[in-house]
Amino acid sequence: MSVNSDWRLLAYKELVDSLNPFFSHYLGDYCRNCRQVIGRLPEAVEESVDLIEGVYPGCCHRGAGDIFRLEGESSERANLAPEIITGLQRERQQKLQQPGVGGGNYSFRRHRDGALVKGAHCKYFSTQGCILGALKGPLCINFICPPMRADLLAVCDEDDFLVGPEHDFLFVYRSLAVISYDGRDEVVRELSDFRQRVQLLAERCRDFLFERQAQSLYSIFTKPSTG
Ligand code: SF4
Ligand code: SF4
């Protein structure tokens, strides 16, 4: 691989690395308690299930980690740069050699029609969670579900310029399009702006929790279900 394509991959990993701690610290318990979170959606009753086998998949379905689209970007920037995808795939292969990795299966019974639904986890899913770290795909760092987004907006006084539009948490896709296709100076600037956005959002979350003497956003916004 040429040095020329290396720097884009490094910039990509830097962006993911700058966001991962925010997810772990402020949003990780949402995903660990996904069914409670999903229970807040209006369609929850309609979509409620009993888990029969495996672990509830949340958003980590087979294939989700290998989606490289940048939704909402222009058609020539609608995917991550090919050299970044190639680099990610090469480094992911090494991660897949680790024991205990490979996803696994799950099944659940849907209440509304009694159907048995079977599925497979993302191949990067393990008992310890996602194994990819800085190699996560665009969708995995961009997607926040509606309850998460609503809570972050509440934390930020509904400042959707900070949280980002519905399809683009923290403008991740826009930043990844810059990393993929623009020159080095623009990429350096974008990375710096992105880090500032993450830091600002983290500060808003930290202050919000401090004022309420609470440990987590999840505990404030998601009431345990009684069912
Ligand atoms: S983002 Fe929301 S829906 Fe997806 S796993 Fe996390 S809590 Fe569940
Ligand atoms: S790559 Fe990681 S975060 Fe993304 S779907 Fe797979 S296990 Fe989940």
pLDDT, tens digit (0-9, with 9 covering 90-100), for 96-109? 988 777 788 999 99
pLDDT, averaged across the chain: 92
Closest residue to atom 1 of ligand 2, CA basis = 65
Closest-lying ligand 2 atom to the alpha carbon of residue 64: 5
Instruction: Quote the pLDDT of residue 4.
Output: 59
Q: pTM (2 decimals)?
A: 0.93
Alpha-carbon separation of residue 201 from 21, 51, 163 (angstroms): 12, 34, 7
From CA 39, how far away is CA 192, in angstroms rounded? Answer: 37
Tell me if residue 124 falls in helix, strand or coil: coil
Q: What is the mean pLDDT of residues 129-156?
A: 96
Q: Where are the domains of the chain?
A: 3-221
**What pLDDT, in 10s, does the model give residues 14-26?**
999 999 999 999 9
From CA 166, how far away is CA 160, in angstroms rounded? Answer: 9
Closest-lying ligand 1 atom to the alpha carbon of residue 147: 2
Instruction: Quote the pLDDT of residue 80.
Output: 98
The residue whose two tokens read 């609503």 is 150
Alpha-carbon separation of residue 40 from 109, 112, 178 (angstroms): 20, 17, 35
Q: What's the CA-to-centroid distance between 72 and ligand 1, angstroms?
A: 21
* 148 close to ligand 1 (CB < 6 Angstrom): yes
From CA 108, how far away is CA 65, in angstroms rounded? Answer: 22
**What pLDDT, in 10s, does the model give residues 44-86?**
877 788 999 988 889 999 999 999 999 999 999 999 999 999 9
Contact of 11 with 187, CB cutoff 8 Å: yes
Paired tokens of 111: 């209440």
Q: How confident is the model at residue 138 (pLDDT cuts 50, 70, 90)?
A: very high
